[in-house]
Amino acid sequence: MTTDRLPEDRNWVATTGLSRRGVLVGGTFAAGFAAAVQPVAASTLKTDPKGLDERMVSISVQQGTMPAYRVKPAGSTRAPVILVVHEIFGVHEWIKDICRRFAQAGYYAIAPDLYARWGDATKEADIQKLIGNIVSKVPDAIVMDDLDRAAAFAAADGGDSSKLGITGFCWGGRITWLYAAYSPRVDAGVAWYGRLTGENKPPITTSQPVEVAARLKAPVLGLYGGKDKGIPVADVEAMQAALKTAKSPSKIILYPEADHGFLADYRPSYNEAAAKAAWGEAHGWFKANLK
């Protein structure tokens, strides 16, 4: 469902910083979105940056440096940290806005460009070239190390990484599950419609979420759409079974009428009802686990 209406629920506004005045489409705003996602849908939201400290930063990583967008409440010290893992489209305007939404709720949010050493995903308009030339070349092991370094940067930049969360979308949803199994420092994760099963292609992809369910070091909330053709309900059920077998505190919520990318208000896949409900679940999850 694509809509230009925003919910009036005060909790939605409080946790996102969004309002009807925050709806912007076209012009310079649309120019901040990845080339592969144009045109930007009429439902696109923009979070008010008032009261936020936002900037692009550079993080030292293997083989050079990695750019990242970071935002936190202005003047805040030791805010809980949330690593925001981008979709296949890279760190474009929507990912930055997600960071602002978390910062408006009191978090230090940082979105590292995990593709930077392989290319600029935001500039590639052809989705197949984007996948073939950039996405398919990014090793899981490097991503895990980059996220560690982003967390360390956040700690040195005033964030409280003793309260560390991670969230990701699509490509980043899968990474969220993997990082929660990899890092003993992470306290909670929220995975948005990330792939759960699939063929591994070492040394690039070495494991899938369903294979690491028993090794999760932090509880993960999975948010999935029942109409997602790329991640069928059977895969969601397989992950739920793996979590149950592992006696994991993690869980998955399935929104029957939602498709892949249902939170992405800049795309036709946006589902306002599912997005509102799932965003509330995500905030509740982090509030309960980042104490």
Convert the chain into a string of H (helix), E (strand) and C (coil): CCCCCCCCCHHHHHHHCCCHHHECCCHHHHCCCCHHHCCCCCCCECCCCCCEEEEEEEEEECCEEEEEEEEEECCCCCEEEEEEECCCCCCCHHHHHHHHHHHHCCCEEEEECCCCCCCCHHHCCCHHHHHHHCHHHCCHHHHHHHHHHHHHHHHHCCEEEEEEEEEEECHHHHHHHHHHHHCCCCCEEEEECCCCCCCCECCCECCCHHHHHHHCCCCEEEEEECCCCCCCHHHHHHHHHHHHHCCCCCEEEEECCCCCCCCCCCCCCCCHHHHHHHHHHHHHHHHHHCC
pLDDT, residue 15, reads 37
Q: Is the pLDDT of residue 4 over 70?
A: no
In a domain, residue 5? The reply is no
The stretch 93-120 carries a mean pLDDT of: 98
Domain span at residue 212 reads 10-289
170 is catalytic: yes
The number of folded domains in the chain is: 1
The stretch 177-205 carries a mean pLDDT of: 98
The stretch 219-236 carries a mean pLDDT of: 98
Q: Is the pLDDT of residue 151 over 50?
A: yes
Q: Is the pLDDT of residue 12 over 60?
A: no
Provide the CB-side half-sphere exposure for 162 (13 A, CA).
2
Q: Is the pLDDT of residue 21 over 50?
A: no
pLDDT band at 11 (very low <50, low <70, confident <90, very high): very low
The stretch 175-182 carries a mean pLDDT of: 98
Q: Is the pLDDT of residue 10 over 70?
A: no
Which residue among the candidates 228, 235, 259, 265 is catalytic per the annotation? 228
In a domain, residue 39? The reply is yes
Q: Is the pLDDT of residue 30 over 90?
A: no
Own/partner long-range contacts of 123-127 (Cβ < 8 Å, ≥24 apart) = 123/34, 123/35, 124/34, 124/35, 124/36, 125/35, 125/36, 125/38, 126/36, 127/36, 127/88
pLDDT, residue 63, reads 86
Which residue among the candidates 170, 235, 259, 265 is catalytic per the annotation? 170
260 is catalytic: yes
Q: Is the pLDDT of residue 223 over 60?
A: yes
- Residue 205 token pair: 């992809």
Q: What is the mean pLDDT of the chain?
A: 91
Cβ contact 96:57 at 8 Å: no
Which residue among the candidates 99, 260, 265, 283 is catalytic per the annotation? 260
CATH number for the domain that contains residue 120? 3.40.50.1820
Q: Which of 66, 63, 68 is nearest to 83 (CA)?
A: 68
Residue with tokens 């700690």: 155
pLDDT, residue 291, reads 87
pLDDT band at 28 (very low <50, low <70, confident <90, very high): low
pLDDT tens figures, 63-82: 899 999 999 999 978 999 99
99 is catalytic: no
The stretch 193-216 carries a mean pLDDT of: 97
The stretch 43-54 carries a mean pLDDT of: 95
pLDDT tens figures, 249-272: 999 999 999 999 999 999 999 999
In a domain, residue 241? The reply is yes
In a domain, residue 40? The reply is yes
The stretch 26-46 carries a mean pLDDT of: 85
